[in-house]
Structure formats: structure tokens, C-alpha cells
Amino acid sequence: MTNAMTARGESAVPRHPLWVRLTHWVNTGAFLALLVSGFAILLALPRLFWGETGANDASAWIVLPLPVNLEQTGWGRNLHFLAAWIFVLNGALYGLVALASGHFLRRLTPERDQLHPRHIAADIRAHLRLTGSGATGAHRYNVLQKLAYLVVILVLAPVMLLSGLTMSPGVTAAYPELFTLFGGRQSARTIHFLSAVLFVGFLLIHVWQVLANGPLDLMRGMITGRSARPKSPSAPSEEDPR
């Protein structure tokens, strides 16, 4: 493969360290398990409420067009609990290593030029045309990627975790402050559902960004840790050894 890339004027360059790739794919599997099991749990009560109580015959804040099915709840709860802990522990490991290695500030924090409104508008136009970020996307995440990752890591993931814990009687018995934070168990359930919807939206945007920035090369980079780019003496390296 290396000889073939050399013949095309390309060279394999470092893209993602091993710990980034491992935590990425573990989180992908855990999130898919959470999505499937969460849907199975939702079928037991496809109605969303605000406050502390709710039932199938009660007035709901949001009524989902789904059939009531109580037979899927058992395995759904077991899988959801297991996948949630994998997701949380794996995410915590990613966060700790990212902070300790400088990866968070170096790769995920938008640079000054990327925050210029003209740059953001150009990035949005490029993505809508599925043309990506051009040469600048070869050595750094574009601003849309960075902003999406930061919102998920700093806002969406903590809200999902805390709202999920609020639905656990054992946790709220020890930390009743969670009820005050979310306004009740059913409110936490509603917020948890809406957060999951936003997570799915992020996943769709993530796939859209991959399609816009060279899907084959990006997938190779996330699987093998290296990607092929045209040789350019002036192009900065993507190498992130940590």
C-alpha cells in the first residue's frame, strides 16, 4: 500500500494516536447500544412529562407516535445500564488523556482565524457543497468540527449523564439535589430524551462532515492512525504523537 501511495505522489502521515482511535470506536459502539436500548425502554412509556410523575393515561408534555410495548424493557434496561457505564468511563479516560497530553487545547480549541465570521461562513458553504475545508482541513479540524465536539464534550454529555442519574432512585436518594437541578424525575427523563435526540443530530452532522472532507482518507486515519495526503513540503504535519 505504501508503494502504491508513493507512486501516486502521496505519503502516509500520522493522523490520530492509538488512544484517540480506541476511545472513538469504543464510544461509537457504546452509543449505538445506548440508542437501541434507549428506544426499547422508551416503548414502555412513549410519553414525556414535566415534573415528578407521569403515566400512560396522564396528560403529557410530548406524545411520541410509538406503540406501547412493555416486553422490551427488561433487556433494554440491562443493556442501557452496561453501555452507559462503558460510555462514561471511556469518555472520562478520553477527557483525562486529552487534557494531560495537551490534545484538547491543541486539536479541539478553535484558533483565532477560525472564529472570524467570514471563515465560519466559508466553512459552512464548503460543507453544504460537500467540498470540505480545502487545504486547511489537511492538518487541523475545521471550526465546525471543533465547535460540535466542544458542545458535545462540555455540555451535552454532562447533561445526559446527570439527567440519566436523576432517574435512578438509588442515586437520587443519596443526591436529592438532582431533583432540584432538573425539576423532577420525569423532567430529567424528558431532558435525557431531548439530549439523546441532539446526540443523534451530532452523529448525523459528524457523518456529513466526514463525507465533506474525504471519507475514505478520514476512515483510514481513524482505523490505522495514518492517512494519505499529496506530498507538499510546505504543508504542516498532522502528527499528534500523544
With H, G, I as helix, E, B as strand and everything else as coil, classify residue 205.
helix
Q: Is the separation of the CB atoms in 196 and 35 below 8 Å?
A: yes
The end-to-end CA distance of the chain, in Å, is 25
Is this model's pTM higher than 0.85 or not? no
What is the DSSP-derived secondary structure letter of residue 110?
P
Residues 6+ apart with CB under 8 A from 44: 68, 69, 70, 72, 73
Q: Facing residues of 14 across strands?
A: 226
Written as tens digits, the pLDDT of the chain (242 aa) is 444 444 444 555 667 889 999 999 999 999 999 999 999 999 999 999 998 888 888 889 999 999 999 999 999 999 999 999 999 999 999 999 999 999 888 888 898 888 888 888 988 888 777 666 544 444 577 888 888 889 999 999 999 999 999 999 889 999 999 999 999 999 999 999 999 999 999 898 888 878 877 788 888 888 887 876 554 444 444 444 33
